Chains A and B, each alone.
Chain A
Amino acid sequence: AQSVTQLGSHVSVSEGALVLLRCNYSSSVPPYLFWYVQYPNQGLQLLLKYTTGATLVKGINGFEAEFKKSETSFHLTKPSAHMSDAAEYFCAVSEGQAGTALIFGKGTTLSVSS
């Protein structure tokens, strides 16, 4: 069965610092991988997704993630944090077939200090 592990329920960075949110997955078939962001009292917004092809995926708001099959990882990064990046971030996996249900990690709350 597929699963997602997000390492660190809370991550704190200073404004301008590198953001690194970790995600590892398990899947018996080539996965589709996603990162979503949720701002307080709002719904989920897609940051980026990996389906096939290039393993480095660029998303909105300067975020990117790299699919590493050998490490079963899909870590999210941003070179320079902004105060507006403070939110909860969710990694999700779907097993290979478009349209199947997403399985989510437990989320990582990102705090950004000035």
Chain B
Amino acid sequence: DVKVTQSSRYLVKRTGEKVFLECVQDMDHENMFWYRQDPGLGLRLIYFSYDVKMKEKGDIPEGYSVSREKKERFSLILESASTNQTSMYLCASTDVAAFTVTFGNGTRLTVT
């Protein structure tokens, strides 16, 4: 089975800190995605990547950036964390041939 691993399950950071959320997949998938999940809003796409060093903005990229230096790793960066970025963050990767999207278990980030 494909595994998508997010490095932290819970994270607490202070306003203004630079925050890194890490995601690693073990199946050589080309496509990777970052979403945030908020009650009543569902999952919203932040950024995605179709290959190493490639990135595309999703629906809500403001305040975020990403890095994909290696195929298996896709990092989400909050340059200066703010309280409105308190949320659940979900990483996903896609098997294009089978079109199966696999999600990590999420990182619950609290910014105080």
Contact = CB atoms under 8 A, between A and B. Distances in A.
Contacts, number: 53
A46 B43 contact: no
Interface residues of B, number: 26
B61 interface: no
Given A42-B105, A43-B90, A106-B42, A101 B99 contact: no
B78 interface: no
Contact of A104 (B42, B96, B105, B106): B42
Interface string B22-50: 00000000110101000011111100101
A34 interface: yes
Contacts of B59: 103
Contact of A99 (B31, B40, B44, B103): B31
A46 B97 contact: no
Interface of A: 6, 9, 32, 34, 42-44, 46, 49, 51, 90, 92, 94, 98-107
Given A44-B103, A98-B94, 6 more contacts: A42-B105, A43-B106, A46-B101, A99-B99, A102-B43, A106-B41
Interface of B: 30-31, 33, 35, 40-45, 48, 50, 58-59, 90, 92, 94, 96-97, 99-101, 103-106
